[in-house]
Amino acid sequence: MNTIQQSAAKRAILASLVGAGLAMVGASLQAVTRNPLADPHLLGISAGGAFGAILALLHTGLFIGLLTVPLLAFLGATLIVLAVAQLAAATSADRLVLAGVAVSFIAMSAANVPIFLGVPRATHTVVFWMLGGLGLAQWDQLIYPAVVLLGCGAYLWLKSGYLNAMTVGDETATTFGIPVARFRLTVFVVGALITGVMVAFSGIIGFVGLMVPHIVRLVVGGDYRRLLPVTALCGAVFLVWADIIARTIMAPEDMPIGIVTGLIGGIFFVWLLRRRFG
């Protein structure tokens, strides 16, 4: 396998992992918030992960090696989750969504501070990374998002029954013996772990967690036992194709993949709003 083929293979594997992870997180958040517009990007989890990763890239250095960036990204995402839960008292699904959007703006503003204070040459690289990109994929780093996706994805799938109940309402879920507030917070933390690690290796890629679950529901229905694995598969395929488009549309320049997903996702978001409220 030549260098070009190896680079394409690495990018495809990373795109598959990131797409699957973000799609599963989006589907899970939509269940526990009962909001079809919920996804890790809109709720600020991606922004928190970006803040932690930027600190590692520009200021703290890799003090524990390759694990530094995903670790700080996870901590940043978790900080956002805890802030949102505290702000919304983790009891109201609607308040969680509103709090997530508000905290997202704060997190992105905080993420811009280390960029402003950083070395100009390094910040240029980080700004490109914030737009989303898979060009830095390395064989020895793919194990981290793979392990996180398998572990957290398995947990979410095993809790499919809980997620099904949460889509009906907190009262119904409570009658089934589900600790609603604790489970919702757990899903947020698991989502923060997946999102933080994916953001650490791919940058901010928005709208995957919003679009894919809705499209999959049209095909397989709302049962999370089927929805989650199919969503993961479709998220992986979608992001692989988005990366192919990003690499070819302005060849030989490598367009950030976040531009492609943002354009497609923005159009889908408008369609979803019109379908839901129009």
List C-alpha distances in Å: 100 to 3, 122, 197: 42, 29, 19
- Number of neighbouring beta carbons within 10 Å of residue 131: 16
Rounded CA separation 260/147 (Å): 27
- Is the Cβ–Cβ distance between 34 and 212 less than 8 Å? no
Domains identified in the chain, total number: 1
Residue 276 has pLDDT above 70, yes or no: no
Classified as helix, coil or strand, 61 is coil
Compute the half-sphere exposure of residue 31: CA atoms within 13 Å on the CB side of its CA: 33
User: Would you state the pLDDT for residue 106?
Assistant: 78
**pTM for this model (two decimals):** 0.85
User: Looking at residue 31, which CATH number applies to its domain?
Assistant: 1.10.3470.10
pLDDT tens profile 246-256: 888 877 777 88
Mean pLDDT for the stretch of residues 199-222 = 87
Domain of 218, in residue numbers:
3-277
User: Would you state the pLDDT for residue 68?
Assistant: 78
244 by Cβ neighbours in 10 Å (0-12 / 13-18 / 19+) ranks as middle
Q: What confidence category does residue 228 fall into, taking pLDDT thresholds of 50, 70 and 90?
A: very high
How is residue 87 written in tokens?
């702000």
- Letter for the amino acid at 46? S
Residue 1 has pLDDT above 60, yes or no: no
Compute the half-sphere exposure of residue 29: CA atoms within 13 Å on the CB side of its CA: 34
